[in-house]
Amino acid sequence: MNARVPESALNAAQALGQVSRAWDDGIVGQLSDYIAIPAKSPMFDSDWAQNGFIDAVVSNAAAWVEAQKVQGLTLEIIRLEGRTPVLFFEVLPSTGAVGVDAKQATSTNSVLMYGHLDKQPEFTGWRHDLGAWTPKYENGKLYGRGGADDGYAVYASIAAIQAIKSQNLPHPRIVGLIETCEESGSYDLLPYIDALRTRLGDVALVICLDSGAGNYDQLWLTSSLRGMASGVLKVEILTEGVHSGDASGLVPSSFRIMRQVLDRLEDSATGRLLPNAFHCEVPADRLAQTKATAAILGDEVFKRFPWAHYDCAGANTFALPTTTDPMQALLNRTWAPTLSVTGAEGLPDFKNAGNVLRPYTAFKLSLRLPPLIDAGTATQLLKTLLEDNAPDQARVTFESSGSATGWNAPGTAPWFEHALNAASQAYFGAPCGYIGQGGTIPLMNMLSTGFPMAQMMVCGVLGPKSNAHGPNEFLHVPFAKKLTAAVAQVIVQMPR
């Protein structure tokens, strides 16, 4: 028997008006306070428990949620020993009928709403009047670290639920899980998932507000996420630095050996990862979606990034992307493995760089993996590839700092596709777009494994130039308002 699709639907204008007021009158202020707190993820703040910043943002979010007095909502902050806390809330199902006890609204399915409150570190290069912990609202954009990635999620979730409640519409049981370890790979999350498994219920729809958008003109559903293997590669030659004039030419350079080792992994001329085991075939449906998205976005796929411009003989030029073909560009950033060096040690800054042959060079590596590649296997292969048969018998070590397998979305159920397009048309006047993302959300693979029949509404506000993790990160508030209302509309369209 087919599940019944609800006939009721949100009044779109009323819903958008309500969530817009919620953003203007409360959420923007709450997020400004949130941005001001340096709640860095535990990977970047080993003293997070003593510093108290993570506890502060969780407590502030919990206080705000409780102050909204959502009918049928209960909330608690859950702490497992030695782990970052999570915020968990539950909203009982409702028939939508005034005066009917929520407990009479039977529902076997749950909607799971997910977000996180931990942040990436400051980074450099912020505009002179902006800063990671200095919120600024300007021309519809709220600047500062973490607002868009992804502190807004819990606030938008509650605003969406309130929009449903205000129109007395029936809705399924809704649970929320807001973690504080996502930017460190969510290594604390699985124990909470295990502890809360019975309370999560039979999850039929996941709403994850931690992803991106191809533009700000329509609703975007994330169709895939890359995985990641990260760690520190270190090349050691000496026990201490020595005079470069005395030793160079005899003592091998640790940097040169580092280059040799990395050449095993990456073609430095093209950036292609050499081991075939890091590649996979792109599924046919993803190729079709990518082609459609390329037609929508065109060269904005690569123009969205802050290229290093300079003027030469009156002509504006800029660094070139790896490809200017929109479809190939989309595939490169979502289905191709890539290597990034995100940090370095053993390299003194210029003012302290004397004529010394350095004893070691260490790079922090971030290897993005295609959605279908197992991260554990890839990490072990990476370690073997980099460490074995070191040039000049140097001491070469690779220490993993975490990995996460990517995610390929399950098939889209007819009701879900209809609801997404209807919501996108209602609030944006355009159909829903489908786009893969190059980043990693570790939870999604966990949830797909645990709830294989659930539909996955993975979306977010990280559109062009929003620059999560980098300088001048911003949240596009007008887009966030429409996304909030769209989430509410999809929830009420879920079959019961």
CB atoms within 10 A of CB 73: 19
Please report, for residues 28, 48, 113, 180, the alpha-carbon distance to residue 119 in angstroms, rounded to integers and kept in the order given: 18, 12, 19, 8
Q: What is the pLDDT of residue 101?
A: 43
Q: What is the pLDDT of residue 447?
A: 85
Q: Which two tokens stand for residue 181?
A: 């370890």
Using the predicted structure, report yes or no on whether residue 352 has a pLDDT greater than 70.
Answer: yes
Residue with more model confidence, 185 or 98: 185
148, 466 Cβ separation under 8 angstroms: yes
**In angstroms, rounded to a whole number, what is the distance separating the alpha carbons of residues 299 and 312?**
23
Q: What is the pLDDT of residue 450?
A: 83
DSSP conformation letters of 93-138: -B---TT--GGGS--SEEEEEEEE--B----S---TT-BTTB-EEE
Using the predicted structure, report yes or no on whether residue 102 has a pLDDT greater than 60.
Answer: no
106, 25 Cβ separation under 8 angstroms: no
DSSP conformation letters of 395-420: EEEEEEEEEE--EEPPPPPHHHHHHH
What SS3 class is residue 430? coil
Please state whether the predicted TM-score (pTM) of the whole model is above 0.75.
yes
Using the predicted structure, report yes or no on whether residue 104 has a pLDDT greater than 50.
Answer: no
Report the relative pairing of strands 173-179 and 109-116 from DSSP bridges. Answer: parallel
Using the predicted structure, report yes or no on whether residue 98 has a pLDDT greater than 80.
Answer: no
Using the predicted structure, report yes or no on whether residue 274 has a pLDDT greater than 70.
Answer: yes
Q: For a pLDDT cut of 90, what percent of the chain falls above it?
A: 87
Using the predicted structure, report yes or no on whether residue 2 has a pLDDT greater than 60.
Answer: no
Per residue in 292-348, pLDDT tens?
A: 999 999 999 998 888 886 555 545 566 788 999 999 999 999 999 999 999 999 999
**In angstroms, rounded to a whole number, what is the distance separating the alpha carbons of residues 102 and 92?**
6
Q: What is the pLDDT of residue 99?
A: 44
Domain borders along the chain are: 12-225+406-492, 227-404
**In angstroms, rounded to a whole number, what is the distance separating the alpha carbons of residues 226 and 249?**
42
Using the predicted structure, report yes or no on whether residue 219 has a pLDDT greater than 90.
Answer: yes
Per residue in 418-465, pLDDT tens?
A: 999 999 999 999 999 999 999 999 889 888 888 889 999 999 999 999
Burial tier of 345 (Cβ tally within 10 Å: 0-12, 13-18, 19+): exposed
Q: What is the pLDDT of residue 3?
A: 53
Using the predicted structure, report yes or no on whether residue 40 has a pLDDT greater than 80.
Answer: yes
Band (pLDDT 50/70/90 cuts) for residue 6 is low
Q: What is the pLDDT of residue 185?
A: 87
**In angstroms, rounded to a whole number, what is the distance separating the alpha carbons of residues 361 and 237?**
9
Which range, of 18-32, 82-96, 227-241, 444-458, averages the lowest pLDDT? Answer: 444-458
Using the predicted structure, report yes or no on whether residue 187 has a pLDDT greater than 70.
Answer: yes
Band (pLDDT 50/70/90 cuts) for residue 96 is confident
Per residue in 386-417, pLDDT tens?
A: 999 999 999 999 999 989 999 999 999 999 99
Q: Which two tokens stand for residue 410?
A: 């399950």
Supply the mean pLDDT for the chain.
93
Per residue in 456-480, pLDDT tens?
A: 999 999 999 999 999 999 999 999 9
Backbone angles phi, psi at 396, to 5 degrees: -115, 125
Q: What is the pLDDT of residue 317?
A: 60
183, 54 Cβ separation under 8 angstroms: no
Domain 12-225+406-492, CATH homologous superfamily name and number: Zn peptidases (3.40.630.10)
DSSP-assigned letter for residue 214: S
Per residue in 129-180, pLDDT tens?
A: 999 999 999 999 999 999 999 999 999 999 999 999 999 999 999 999 999 9
CATH of 227-404, one of 3.40.50.2300, 3.40.30.10, 3.30.70.360, 3.90.1150.10: 3.30.70.360
Q: What is the mean pLDDT of residues 255-283?
A: 97
**In angstroms, rounded to a whole number, what is the distance separating the alpha carbons of residues 244 and 255?**
13
Q: For a pLDDT cut of 70, what percent of the chain falls above it?
A: 94
